[in-house]
Amino acid sequence: MARIRTTVDGLVYEDDVEPRMLLVQYLRERLGKTGTVIGCDTSNCGACTVHLDGMSVKSCSVLAVQANGAEVLTVEGLERDGQLHPVQQAFHDNHALQCGYCTPGMIMQSIDLLGDNPDPSEQEVREGIEGNLCRCTGYQNIVRAVQDAASKMKPGAAAPTQPAGQPVAGGGA
Amino acid sequence: MIPAQFDYVRPTTVDEAVQALRDGGDDAKLLAGGQSLLPVLRLRMADPSLIIDLGGIPELKGVREEGNEVVVGAMTSHYDVTRDDTLRQHVALIGEATKTVADPQVRHRGTLGGALAHADPAGDLAAPALALDAQFVIAGSGGTRTVAAADFFEDYFTTAIGEGELLTEIRFPKYTGWGARYEKFNRVAQAWSIVAVAATVKVDGGKITDARIGLTNMAGTPVRARGVESALVGQSASEDTVRQAAQAAAEGTSPTADADAGSDYREHLARVLTGRAVLAAAG
């Protein structure tokens, strides 16, 4: 067992974990953060994407012990005071989901993309989410939603990818 | 699936990592960015008894200039390689190839040293490292040694890194002002290269004065297209001359045949992609 201390969606957690425990298992099975889903066994699909110290990662391809001392942001930590994150709202407004299974990962990766490139072209959006698969093949509305979110987050409004110190609504303990 | 059980250590210096390797014996495995190792562990294609996580060793990260070389720490992430100004200015080819590796999430975690040590023949960074005449610094219990790229890649997933050793640095000569292009042919987004060509050329007054070309997935190791390199020198950077020189691209290769492509098709791709890569690099 290894002792880890991790900030997840603005709250600090300390736990003993087996070294082999994947970050996605830790989030789902220990913290109950089932908003982050497991879609494949091959690291291809991106459904489990979360942010680790501000960078998108596939949480099936990171060990929980590797998140020791780090900040994790999941799709459950995006909402603020009952308000969806602009990217969540844009996915809603543009019907950017069919079955919805890829949606948490798509949203987390889209926020990461907009942090690096606040005004991506359609091609840049497609390349930015190339690590996320939508098995319904509903990419058109996803791309539309990301561009819609980009336009609504302008001007000067950087993606609030980190909780910036204050507790986050919705982060269940 | 969940990986089989293993012990885990996270050294904070290279010396500690070398000691951990010695203590761990045959069954220890180094964890760099984990973007190849974690999937393999999950599929239970490997079950090491000890994982040595290199993520906590500051001296293995970062890019610095040393005289006529640019030195990249083995644990520098793909993301950082693509955004580094020193590399962009002096070793543009490595960033061009790194941009095409996998997808953004994998590039955030994956590392230059990890990818090179993994030595997947379809991986995108070995061919540029070979083309650029990179030097590999390897640490072990007897200190460090340096291996040239031409001797580093030995076979499929096999490098000159010996038991009890780890890759610490990749040293690139400077190619300041050279054009660069990594031309990759794959089936779908984030797929491995079926074939890819890493080309960097120096152009002076419309003439190619020097060229370096490496091929991805044309053998168990990366291959230098030396016939093309010598045919290009002194030629104008025009479409006809470049395509003519590129006809030699498949010489000396031994490409595999698989579900994506037969050997002869890979040879065809090598010629076509070499032409495209050189033209783009020279443009």
CATH of the domain at B15: 3.30.43.10
User: How far is A104 from B71, CA to CA, in rounded Å?
Assistant: 38
- Give yes or no for residue A155 having a pLDDT over 90: no
Instruction: Say if residues A90 and A126 touch (Cβ distance below 8 Å).
Output: no
- Please give the mean pLDDT across all residues of chain A: 91
- Please give the mean pLDDT across all residues of chain B: 97
User: How far is A49 from A58, CA to CA, in rounded Å?
Assistant: 4
Does the beta-carbon distance from B6 to A19 stay under 8 Å? yes
Does the beta-carbon distance from B5 to A20 stay under 8 Å? yes
CATH of the domain at B167: 3.30.465.10
Q: Is A43 on the interface with B (CB under 8 A)?
A: yes
- Give yes or no for residue A172 having a pLDDT over 50: no
Residue-by-residue DSSP string for chain A: -EEEEEEETTEEEEEEE-TT-BHHHIIIIIS--TTS----SSS-S-TTEEEETTEEEETTSSBGGGGTT-EEE-GGG--BTTBPPHHHHHHHHTT--SS-TTHHHHHHHHHHHHHH-SS--HHHHHHHTTT---TT--HHHHHHHHHHHHHHHTTT-----S-TTS--TT---
Show which of B146, B173, B200 is a domain's final residue.
Answer: B173
Q: Nearest chain A Cα to B80, which residue?
A: A55
Instruction: Note whether residue A164 is domain-resident.
Output: no
Instruction: Say if residues B45 and B143 touch (Cβ distance below 8 Å).
Output: no
User: Looking at chain A from residue 44 to 73, which residues have their Cβ under 8 Å from any Cβ of chain B?
Assistant: 44, 46, 49, 52, 55-58, 60-63, 65-66
The SS3 call for residue B99 is coil
Greater pLDDT, B82 or A156: B82
**Strand pairing class (B135-140; B28-31):** unpaired
Domain match, B74 and B168 both: yes
pLDDT of residue A48: 98
Tell me the pLDDT tens digit for each residue of B180-220.
999 999 998 888 999 999 999 999 999 999 999 999 999 99
Domain match, A96 and A142 both: yes
Domain match, A41 and A93 both: no
Instruction: Note whether residue A126 is domain-resident.
Output: yes
Alpha-carbon A36 to chain mean position: 8
Instruction: Note whether residue B179 is domain-resident.
Output: no
Instruction: Note whether residue B92 is domain-resident.
Output: yes
Does the beta-carbon distance from B189 to A130 stay under 8 Å? yes
Token duo for residue B107: 């590039």
Instruction: Note whether residue A138 is domain-resident.
Output: yes
Show which of B152, B173, B194 is a domain's final residue.
Answer: B173
Domain match, B16 and B34 both: yes
Predicted TM-score (pTM) of the model is: 0.94
Nearest Cα of chain B lies from the Cα of A42 at a distance, in angstroms, of 6
CATH of the domain at A55: 3.10.20.30
Domain match, B199 and B133 both: no
Does the beta-carbon distance from B42 to A41 stay under 8 Å? yes
Q: Cβ contacts (< 8 Å) between B104 and chain A: which residues?
A: 56, 109, 112-113, 128, 130-131
The yes/no answer to whether this complex scores an ipTM above 0.85 is yes
Instruction: Note whether residue B257 is domain-resident.
Output: yes
User: What is the distance between the terminal CA atoms of chain A, rounded to a whole angstrom?
Assistant: 21
Q: Is A109 on the interface with B (CB under 8 A)?
A: yes
Show which of B125, B153, B173 is a domain's final residue.
Answer: B173
The SS3 call for residue B132 is coil
Tell me the pLDDT tens digit for each residue of A60-105.
999 999 999 999 999 999 999 999 999 999 999 999 999 999 999 9
Tokens 């302008």 -> residue: A154
Does the beta-carbon distance from B43 to A41 stay under 8 Å? yes
Residues in chain B: 283
Instruction: Say if residues A147 and A88 touch (Cβ distance below 8 Å).
Output: no
How many A-B residue pairs are in contact by the CB < 8 A criterion?
Answer: 85
Domain that holds residue B12: 7-54
Q: Cβ contacts (< 8 Å) between B99 and chain A: which residues?
A: none
Domain that holds residue A44: 2-77
For an interface test with A, give the residue of B103, B106, B107, B186 to mutate (most A CBs within 10 A).
Answer: B103
Tokens 């110190």 -> residue: A165
Domain match, A96 and A37 both: no
Domain match, A53 and A9 both: yes
Domain match, B109 and B67 both: yes
Tokens 């993520």 -> residue: B55
Instruction: Note whether residue B1 is domain-resident.
Output: no
The total number of structural domains in chain B stands at 3
User: How far is B263 from B266, CA to CA, in rounded Å?
Assistant: 5
Instruction: Note whether residue A129 is domain-resident.
Output: yes
pLDDT of residue A161: 52
Tell me the pLDDT tens digit for each residue of A15-47.
999 999 999 999 999 999 999 999 997 899 999
User: How far is A3 from B81, CA to CA, in rounded Å?
Assistant: 32
